[in-house]
Amino acid sequence: MRDFALELEERKQAGLYRTRRHVAGPQRPSLIADGKPLLSFCSNDYLGLANNPANIEALRDALSKTGLGGAASHLICGHHDAHHQLELRLAEFTGRSSALFFSTGYMANMGVISALAGRGDTIFSDRLNHASIIDGCILSRARVRRYAHGDVAALATMLAETSGHKLVVTDGVFSMDGDIAPLAELARVCRAHDALLVVDDAHGIGVLGPEGRGSVAEAGLSEEDVPVLIGTLGKGVGTSGAFVAGPSMLMDYLVQKARTYIYTTAMPPALAMATISSLDLIERDQGRRDHVLGLVSRFRREASAMGYELMPSHTPIQPIMVGDNHDALALSQALEERGLLVSAIRPPTVPVGEARLRVTFSAAHSQENLDCLLSALSECRHLVQKADVAI
Ligand SMILES: Cc1ncc(COP(=O)(O)O)c(C=O)c1O
């Protein structure tokens, strides 16, 4: 038998051991984690909606009408009218013909990719795509070719060399870097080479684009340009679940073929109603987006002036590049001693030698919260190498 205990010990030695914190109370910037009050800068609740009173009220109200459990899979008797309402709302929100509600973004990526490509086909995947995309590619049994991050010219060359069914998949906003894929150029080369483009906008939905419609809408791209759009609902939208949106025929195909849609219990229908409430709020409330993006601009200005190495991101994901795993842990620990929760991200989540602190912002953060972060970063500056280039 494998020596699992030894592997755990080796992880500890390499600075790669992961632990979980116990959070008490609702998700918001001021958290109680492991019994300690901390100011969090590591959640994906970009719009501060995870604890929104109107959405909680919508959930309560829906619970009294729909009950709690999903009871069965969608294709047996779990497909509730509340799920249908949400799918119509998601199609409208994203400007697509049709949408399907999945239980998580991880399941959406696994199910969609493995349904739309299979043995004998080729998938082209950005090197920095999320783990759920990588796993979806593996599950598909298609040939997988990874292209350098955001390198549309390299992708075009690969596409030109390949025949048969081709699927290109990319994060919209890259989860650990915060930058945005070159979506317009990707759409152009996919059209030129008859490849199906799949964009996972997990971190753009709610936050970017007109009325929060995401990075694809921000790039002005329609259903013809990006036929398969995936989004998650547990991040900017503040509830839970995920969706895929696109042409009705493709959604019908996924209902027949996406195993992570078919072989799982439907989400509690009341959650769908809370998500509709949240989408209504997101469309109306530009103020939340303006506020969080304002915090991002100020952070970038002041943290790069201190000499921290930031990444080319203008989204609420603002990683501080550190490099070494132990150094990243030391910076995270020093911030925690100053009352801040910012997690260190290490391989395999990011490439070896690129450990970083993934700082994220929320509309629920105040300017005073940002003051606290900046002043702690200033005190901890000596813990990381000076950046060669200020971005
Ligand atoms: C780009 C991306 N896609 C998908 C997911 C998975 O979504 P979920 O948390 O809903 O499973 C994540 C993060 O969790 C992500 O960063």
pLDDT exceeds cutoff 90 at 384: no
Q: Is 175 a catalytic residue?
A: yes
321-358 confidence digits (pLDDT tens): 999 999 999 999 999 999 999 999 999 999 999 999 99
Cβ(171) to ligand 1 under 6 A? yes
Q: Mean pLDDT of all residues in the chain?
A: 96
Mean pLDDT within 132-141: 98
Q: Residue 309 contacts by C-beta under 8 Å, 6 or more apart in sequence? A: 320, 321, 384, 387, 388, 389, 391
Mean pLDDT within 40-59: 98
Inter-axis angle of helices 367-379 and 286-305, nearest 10:
20
Residue type, 48: G
- Classify residue 65 by burial, with Cβ atoms within 10 Å: 0-12, 13-18, 19+: exposed
* Residue 16 banded pLDDT, cuts 50, 70, 90: confident
What's the confidence (pLDDT) of residue 391?
38
Cβ(175) to ligand 1 under 6 A? yes
d(C-alpha 296, C-alpha 290), whole Å: 10
Q: Residue 290 contacts by C-beta under 8 Å, 6 or more apart in sequence? A: none
Q: Using DSSP bridges, classify how beta strands 242-246 and 228-232 pair: parallel, antiparallel or unpaired.
A: antiparallel
| Best CA proximity match to 211, nearest among 336, 80, 94 | 94
177-226 confidence digits (pLDDT tens): 999 999 999 999 999 999 999 999 999 999 999 999 999 999 999 999 99
| Six token digits for residue 1 | 């038998």
d(C-alpha 208, C-alpha 201), whole Å: 10
Mean pLDDT within 4-23: 94
| Best CA proximity match to 373, nearest among 314, 300, 312, 309 | 300
pLDDT exceeds cutoff 80 at 386: no
Q: Which residue has a Cα nearest atom 7 of ligand 1?
A: 105
Q: How many CB atoms lie within 10 A of CB 383?
A: 16
Cβ(358) to ligand 1 under 6 A? no
| Six token digits for residue 127 | 């090197």
pLDDT exceeds cutoff 90 at 15: no
Domains, the chain: 22-51+285-380 (3.90.1150.10), 53-283 (3.40.640.10)
303-315 confidence digits (pLDDT tens): 999 999 999 999 9
Cβ(104) to ligand 1 under 6 A? yes
What's the confidence (pLDDT) of residue 389?
42
| CB 260 within 8 Å of CB 111 | yes
| CB 121 within 8 Å of CB 143 | yes
Q: Which of 113, 130, 267 to mutate to test the pocket of ligand 1 (most atoms within 8 A of CB)?
A: 130
Q: Is 235 a catalytic residue?
A: yes
Distance from the alpha carbon of residue 107 to the mean position of ligand 1, in angstroms:
9
Work out the percent of the chain whose per-residue pLDDT is above 70.
Answer: 98
